[in-house]
A and B are shown apart, each in its own frame.
Chain A
Amino acid sequence: MSGHDPAEVDRHVRVYIVVFVSLMALTLVTVAVSYLHLPLPMAIAVALAIASVKGSLVACYFMHLISEKKLIIAILALTVFMFLTVLFIPTFTHMNSIELHG
């Protein structure tokens, strides 16, 4: 995003302020929810959902991904796939192991 057009940058700055406020609010929400002591699976789901929203805001607006070129998006899509692979498959394998008894 090398947009040096001043009016465009002004628009961006307004967005940054909105995102900043949202991030603060979501931070307080996620901490508040943690005090509710939800059952673990629900707590995990809520915490990760909020974190994903916050992360997406940072990625899309601070890191300008929302208007980024196709090549960058393609590289990231590939990376996300590999990220999910390394994240989940070892645990699935672990859960599908033969238990030794006796």
Chain B
Amino acid sequence: MHTTGTTVAHGQSVTGAAHDHAGHEEKSFLWTYVFSTDHKVIGIQYSITGLLFLLFGFCLMMLMRWQLAYPGSPIPFIGGLLGDARAPGGTMLPEFYNELGAMHGTIMVFLGVVPLAVGGFGNFVLPLQIGAPDMAFPRINMMSYWPYFMGGVIMLASFFVPGGAAQSGWTSYSPLAELAGSGQTMWLLGMVMLITSSLLGAINFLTTTVQLRAKGLTFWRFPFFVWAQFVTSFLLLLAFPPLEAAGVLQLMDRLAGTSFFLPSGLVVSGQVLQVSGGGNPLLWQHLFWFLAHPEVYVLILPAMGIVAEIIANNTRKPLFGYRTMVYSLIFLGFMSFVVWAHHMFMTGMGTVMSAFFQTTTMIISIPSVAILTSLIISLWGGSIRFTTPMLFALAFLPMFGIGGLTGLPLGLNVTDIPLHDTYYVIAHFHYVVAPGTIFALFAGIYYWFPKATGRMMSETLGRIHFAGSFIFMNMVFMPMFLVGLAGVSRRLYDGGASYDFAQPVLHWNRVSSYGAWALGLSQIPFIINFFWSMRHGRKVDQNPWQATTLEWAAPSPPPHGNFTTPPEVYRGPYEYSVPGRATDFYPQSERAEA
């Protein structure tokens, strides 16, 4: 570690070439950017890849929304490009609609949100926020990115095999998934790669947080973001392996002719399936949801962490109920492992088990509410700065509120009966992930962009991005509650058009579609802003937000090794507006006045 007296950053900036330190050989492009072991480079790799997949998954959905708005009519422009196997005459086939649906979900969750929230933000920010020079295992960190990349390639390639991509939902229930074409096998292989990436990442995050925190940085002085990533990593570590096991079993069923998930006497197209039988489709569901429920907390926890940082910074006061929030986070993580069968209330479950899972599900809403309420109360009496990150962070609060509250009837077994697998569910979970998590991720990008690049993003373009996103997110998803309550099932390729009872609500499908396309257009200012600001954004020093946490004590962008001298921590993470001080923020690493 070079400890020079200067504060000039010898950085590995996103756009600039790598500078070498005195005494180090200049590394080739390959080792500096492609196989770098620097957590910041890896974080940016995860982030850019994750954002690209988010965009791609979004495009898949925009295609679906044409079919839902105008069932059976040819897609303009793109319809001709899709080819006869997917969309003869430009009208998409039901099979292709199912591919889009399954892959939209898979890509958004596993290739988009989690890599960005955990791989991107976690990797970039965590070591900086704890005052560490890098992750505990830099080479394993580098090696965790490439399975993610390979998994993504496999998933994308699956669109081009005979039969197309996976089309049995992101949930891949048996027996449908087992009877599907080779795209499903590729889905399974892609998932194995992604799980490997997440496991390696989780091991790194946990070890780093415990071992490499700066002197004086006790657990109770952690920024909430660090706690959030810490709990998230435990969820990834312990919940993903059962899905890996399930993936292996489904691969065995598909490739080795076993019947782990196929019952005896299954009749397909009038013929009894020639397999040994004796399997159980519910076993797949149990193993899948054992991961997939903690997975949704993996989706939300980093977002809460980001929002907490931005709220504290832009209210110029400490978070309300920090300790309560941390205890809630830990309790939430723990409970997330014992609620999974609320996704299976309709599988013929007896009353004992459904009562058990209903109860645990109701209990888990308590820590969620505690965290959200603390964040809301944190605004009280604050000097609120309506910066772009803060706009997104503020919007997160009611949006997550709607998402969370609408989950309650789904978590109670009786009210779940009419709502299960309807558009109500789609609306519920999208509210949590889309104007919930993704807004928080946008907030995080606007917030930490100056740390990664030394430049600010444009506030004007940011506000346009925010306004469009906020309005059109609600336009897409609010009507879906109505459509779901009317009884329209999810995963119908005509959006319910062939059902009499659905006729009165069908026009809402068009509203959602217009909203989706407008939402897509609203992202254009963001994409322009992101790339333009890298080169032309307003240059700033290392702490443009006047924040207290450790990452702002490093140069922007931070050099290899992050800090010119290892920081020491003297106080908590949110010492804003401390009485008697000249400035309204007291950084964690600033030495106390004599």
Contacts and interface: CB of A to CB of B under 8 A. Distances in A.
Contacts of B350: 93, 96-98
Contact of B238 (A79, A89, A96, A100): A79
A94 B282 contact: yes
A82 B349 contact: no
Interface in B407-442: none
Interface string A40-80: 00000000000000000000000000000001000000110
A80 to B, nearest CB: 11
A93 B353 contact: yes
B349 A96 contact: yes
A98 B349 contact: yes
A17 to B, nearest CB: 33
B303 interface: no
B404 interface: no
Contacts of A97: 347-350
B337 A93 contact: no
Contacts of B287: 90
Interface residues of A, number: 15
Given A82-B238, A86-B290, A92-B353, A98 B283 contact: no
Contacts of A2: none
Contact of B286 (A71, A78, A90): A90
A79 B337 CA distance: 11
Interface in B264-322: 280, 282-283, 286-287, 290
A78 B234 contact: yes
A85 B294 CA distance: 13
Contacts of B337: 82, 85
B242 A96 contact: no
B352 interface: yes
B14 interface: no
Contacts of B349: 93, 96-98
A71 B210 contact: yes
Contacts of A78: 234, 238
Nearest to A83: B238
A60 to B, nearest CB: 22
A65 to B, nearest CB: 18
Interface string B228-253: 00000010001100100000000000
Given A79-B238, A94-B282, A98-B348, A85 B338 contact: yes
B210 A96 contact: no
B242 A86 contact: yes
B280 A94 contact: yes
A71 B209 CA distance: 13
A89 B356 CA distance: 10
B338 A93 contact: no
Interface in B330-345: 337-338, 341, 344
B238 A93 contact: no
Contacts of A100: 348
Contacts of A71: 210
Contacts of B280: 94
A90 B283 CA distance: 7
* Those 10 A-B pairs whose CB atoms lie nearest each other, nearest first: A96-B350, A90-B286, A93-B353, A96-B353, A98-B348, A82-B238, A96-B352, A97-B348, A97-B350, A86-B242
25 contacts: A71-B210, A78-B238, A79-B238, A82-B239, A82-B337, A85-B337, A86-B242, A86-B290, A89-B338, A89-B341, A90-B286, A90-B287, A93-B341, A93-B344, A93-B349, A94-B280, A96-B349, A96-B351, A97-B347, A97-B348, A97-B349, A97-B350, A98-B348, A98-B349, A98-B350
Interface of B: 210, 234, 238-239, 242, 280, 282-283, 286-287, 290, 337-338, 341, 344, 347-353
